[in-house]
Amino acid sequence: MVSRVIPVDPFDLVIFGGTGDLARRKILPGLYRRYCAGQMPEDARIIGAARGEMDDAGYRDFVREAIVEFSPPKEQNAEQIDGFLSRLHFIVIDAKGTGGWSDLAALMRDGVVRAFYFSVAPGLFGDLATRLHAHAIADDDSRIVVEKPFGRDLATAKALNKVLAEHFDEHQIYRIDHYLGKETVQNLMAVRFGNILFEPLWNAQYVDHIQITVAETVGVGGRGSYYDKSGAMRDMVQNHLMQLICLIAMEPPSHFDPDAVRDEKLKVIRALDPLAPDEIVRGQYLADEDQPGYLVDCEDPASKTESFIAMKMHISNWRWKGTPIYVRTGKRLRARASEIAVVFKDPPHNIFGEQEDRRGNVLVIRLQPNEGMNLRVTIKEPGPGGMRLVEVPLDMSFAEALGPDAEDIPDAYERLIMDVIRGNQTLFMRGDEVEAAWAWTDPIIAAWEAKGDKPKGYDAGSSGPEDALMLLHRDGRRWREIRE
Ligand code: NDP
Ligand code: BG6
């Protein structure tokens, strides 16, 4: 297979917060990788912007260090790094002040795509939008890229949408959810809508339930003060997991174009039932021998914020009524493993007689690590002894199936930034989608707050609190094991 890299149009990409953690770890190394892949045209420019005093040379040194620290050694090539750095500039600017804005206006070129990445604290998004407009730096074709969190509830998300809409049309606003940039997440759409095989079975008549697990081994140490104001519900469910649910559950869009896809995703969010209290389990990781527990990491011994959440969700529409979606995500769990498992019902009539431990067909889409898909099917156990059945996986690892091409799969940020330059919003959240997700989430959080709900402790390195296991056990089901 030959990978096809199509260069994007010439651009000026301004990264507000160009010296921050996200820029250093993800955005700039990602752009370097696209440069190495040949996707960046000759006259593309990247302009870092922040308040700290720095000149172009200082910024190039800063970015060189970021590439060395955050790119795999095999991707580090001195000549390539120099070529990439020559496209970088820096401008000292204050999102809340007047300094630097006319310099930025003077630096921007006509006739190239103008993109502005808001990689700063969300409290500055409105200031940036206002000043870009006031200084006539953004034109009608310019794009802004807005990082998460997009609000912390429906009211703040609406306010943010409103302030952005004062200066930018919806087609110019790219709300990032980096899960949408993950290769396997996009493959969900390819598998569902590029094959005839699955779609006829993709409904409540044939699917018993769906499990979505996004498990992390890291705790929140180092970013405890941010996390403690969010918790797993705001940090992961309202955005990343909600997007996964949408892609798994949505109707086939009429076209693979941004609004057709997002219209269908929106319908899924709007069809989500409110949750009953016994359909939610919240947890906080405990200390182990080596590392502190959540309450120490978040620096609030009385915190009631959850570092784990499991839920039984329901979609009220013709396709899914009666098929629960069990979702769980958490920090300091047994393994870093994210997957979606579609568990099919048993055949309507069993001609082989009762056999122990039959578990039926399961389609597993592994998001990370080891991206791939696995379909469990029933076959006859080889050898004599009658018709004994056994389940075996039909396994497809992208790394094996695609060979060297799998190594060139762009990281989520790389792909999403290139989509911004191309002007393709399919993998970005629309304003109404974000609002609908908060509209579903808000009452759940409000109910915890009203009753002072305290998350259950769970052992670091476990699968979460016991109650999360019970969420399925009491329905006669069980979670898949969390393992890499
Ligand atoms: P940091 O605190 O590490 O960096 C903030 C950046 O903004 C710095 O470059 C800072 O430089 C600049 N900045 C701060 N105030 C101003 C101002 N008034 N005017 C201009 N620039 C300013 O934040 P992160 O990089 O971690 O996060 C950035 C955004 O990305 C946030 O919205 C965050 O929620 C989001 N995000 C981050 C992730 C991560 O992994 N880090 C993951 C997902 C989302 P200076 O102080 O010199 O101005
Ligand atoms: C971020 C969350 O959006 O996603 C983090 O703020 C989380 O808490 C991260 O760790 C997970 O992303 P990934 O790509 O490592 O699964």
pLDDT tens string, the chain, 484 residues long: the values are 445 788 899 999 999 999 999 999 999 999 999 999 999 998 999 999 999 999 999 999 999 999 999 998 988 999 999 999 999 999 999 999 999 999 999 999 999 999 999 999 999 999 999 999 999 999 999 999 999 999 999 999 999 999 999 999 999 999 999 999 998 888 899 999 999 999 999 999 999 999 999 999 999 988 899 999 999 999 999 999 999 999 999 999 999 999 999 999 999 999 999 999 999 999 999 999 999 999 999 999 999 999 999 999 999 999 999 999 999 999 999 999 999 999 999 988 888 877 766 678 999 999 988 888 899 988 888 888 788 888 888 887 777 777 766 666 788 999 999 999 999 999 999 999 999 999 999 999 999 999 999 999 999 999 999 999 999 999 999 999 999 8
Q: Confirm or reject: Cβ of 216 under 6 Å from ligand 2.
A: yes
Nearest CA to ligand 2 atom 2: 235
Residues 68 and 184 in one domain: no
Residues 135 and 199 in one domain: no
Residues 199 and 131 in one domain: no
Residues 323 and 389 in one domain: yes
CB 351 within 8 A of CB 381: no
> Tell me, what's the pLDDT at 41?
93
Residues 249 and 342 in one domain: yes
2 lies in some domain: no
> Tell me, what's the pLDDT at 405?
65
Residues 210 and 260 in one domain: yes
168 lies in some domain: no
List Cα–Cα distances, 450 to 223, 444, 446, in angstroms: 26, 10, 6
423 lies in some domain: no
CA-122 nearest atom, ligand 1 = 32
Q: Confirm or reject: Cβ of 371 under 6 Å from ligand 2.
A: no
Is 240 considered catalytic here?
A: yes
163 lies in some domain: no
154 lies in some domain: no
DSSP string across 345-382: PPPSS-TT---TT----EEEEEEESS-EEEEEEEEEPS
> 21 C-alpha vs ligand 2 centroid, how far in Å?
14
Domain end position, chosen among 96, 126, 147: 147
* Other beta carbons less than 10 A from residue 358's beta carbon: 13
390: domain CATH number?
3.30.360.10
d(CA 83, CA 64): 11
Name, in order, each residue with C-beta under 8 angstroms of 369's C-beta and a sequence gap of 6 or more. 336, 337, 484
Residues 130 and 43 in one domain: yes
How many domains does one find in the chain?
2
Residues 273 and 402 in one domain: yes
Residues 92 and 187 in one domain: no
55: domain CATH number?
3.40.50.720
Ligand number, closest to the Cα atom of 93:
1
174 lies in some domain: no
22 lies in some domain: yes
Domain end position, chosen among 126, 147, 168: 147
Name the pairing type of β-strands 45-50 and 11-16: parallel
> Tell me, what's the pLDDT at 357?
63
Domain end position, chosen among 147, 172, 194: 147
Residues 126 and 212 in one domain: no
d(CA 92, CA 105): 12
> Tell me, what's the pLDDT at 476?
94
Structural domain of residue 137, as residue ranges? 11-147
Residues 135 and 284 in one domain: no
